[in-house]
Amino acid sequence: MARRIEPLTLPDLSGKSVVLTGGSDGMGLVMATQLAAAGADLVLPVRNARKGEAAITTIRESAPKATVSLRSLELSSLSSVAALGETLRDEEVPIDIFIGNAGVMNPPARQVTADGFELQFGTDHLGHVALIGHLMPLLRAGRARVTLQVSIAANQGAINWDDLNWERSYDSMAAYSQSKIAYGLFGLKLDRRSKAAGWGITVDLSHPGIAPTNLLAARPEIGRAEPVRWRPLISLFSRLGVLGTVESAAQPALMAATAPGDQGGRFYGPDGFRGLGGKPAEQTLYSRLQSSDEARRVWDVSQELTGVTFPGV
């Protein structure tokens, strides 16, 4: 049987404003529930309002006094991202914690976002880059702790600089790895920029290991009518304790977002064999996330593609 990983005991987050993407199901819902139970004022940007309402019901079953509200967001649309940014800026609530957890994985065939980007690169990376850019005034006002959820896929592959949108030869898993490498490099660059300019924002990365999450389930909206073929094996190894569970997979991002004394630029994941499962702990940064030259290149091209710019240092 699986080794039970106890959920983190979070600090008191009363009065803290938390924005969490991907919080309506799976490990995101686990994060949302723990954050709300710790007293956070939780904002969940969601694509599906029905799922969002169901998530609020689930959260309040565990945390009856939870302060949680929904906002509309489609990360694969830059206009939707901009609209959410405008909505939250108009509300003028400083953001204390931002967790960019939402994502898509392995569509069976190449798809593009509303803006013409390869779906995984456009959603997992560029959509979050644009959202963070639009929220910069609120993040700076709250001296926010930002956590970007990458993946063990960021420990393989590379950024396909000659064909970022995978128009010539599509490899779904390689494109997913690219999106997570780019996302991680951007986050670490943002942390360094913040330190240099005194923005007050700290940025950490996390990864969930491997667990039978909804990323692997049937996803008709991306053309996947059945779960990925290896999900039953992942579920088996999860039950045996070799891999993580949905609950344990949520813990590294929560540690990154709330660990006492964290000053940014750190990487968290499960502490088990090759980071596949286990308790949350600080990790050695993947080699593909260590290049400052690659990070600078990602920083520049991400702003160019999204049209969302960040202040100079």
Share of the chain above pLDDT 90, in %: 81
Helix, strand, coil share (%) of the chain residues, nearest 5: 45, 15, 40
Q: Is the pLDDT of residue 50 over 70?
A: yes
Residue-averaged pLDDT of the chain: 92
206 domain-assigned:
yes
In a domain, 184, yes or no: yes
Total domains in the chain come to 1
> pLDDT for 272-312, tens place per residue?
888 888 999 999 999 999 999 999 999 999 999 999 999 87
Please state, in angstroms and rounded to a whole number, the distance separating the CA atoms of residues 257 and 98. 8
The verdict on residue 151 lying in a domain is yes
Distance of alpha carbon 301 from alpha carbon 178, whole angstroms: 14
pTM above 0.85, yes or no: yes
| Spatial separation of the C-alpha atoms in residues 116 and 100, rounded to whole Å | 22
- At 1 the pLDDT is 45
Q: Which domain holds residue 92?
A: 17-210+250-304
pLDDT tens, residue by residue, 96-154: 999 999 999 989 899 999 999 999 999 999 999 999 999 999 999 999 999 999 999 99
Q: 173 by DSSP, 3-state: which?
A: helix
CATH of the domain at 26: 3.40.50.720
74 in a structural domain: yes
Is 102 within 8 Å of 75 (Cβ atoms)?
yes
Is there a domain that residue 6 lies in?
no
pLDDT of residue 211: 76
Determine the pLDDT at residue 20.
98
Residue 96 lies in a domain: yes
pLDDT in tens, 4-49: 788 999 999 999 999 999 999 999 999 999 999 999 999 999 999 9
Q: Cα-flanking dihedrals φ and ψ of residue 45, to 5°?
A: -75, 125
At residue 52, what are phi and psi to the nearest 5 degrees? -65, -45
Residue 166 lies in a domain: yes
- Which amino acids are annotated catalytic? 176
CA distances from 63 to 28, 56, 67, 212, 280 (A): 16, 10, 9, 25, 23
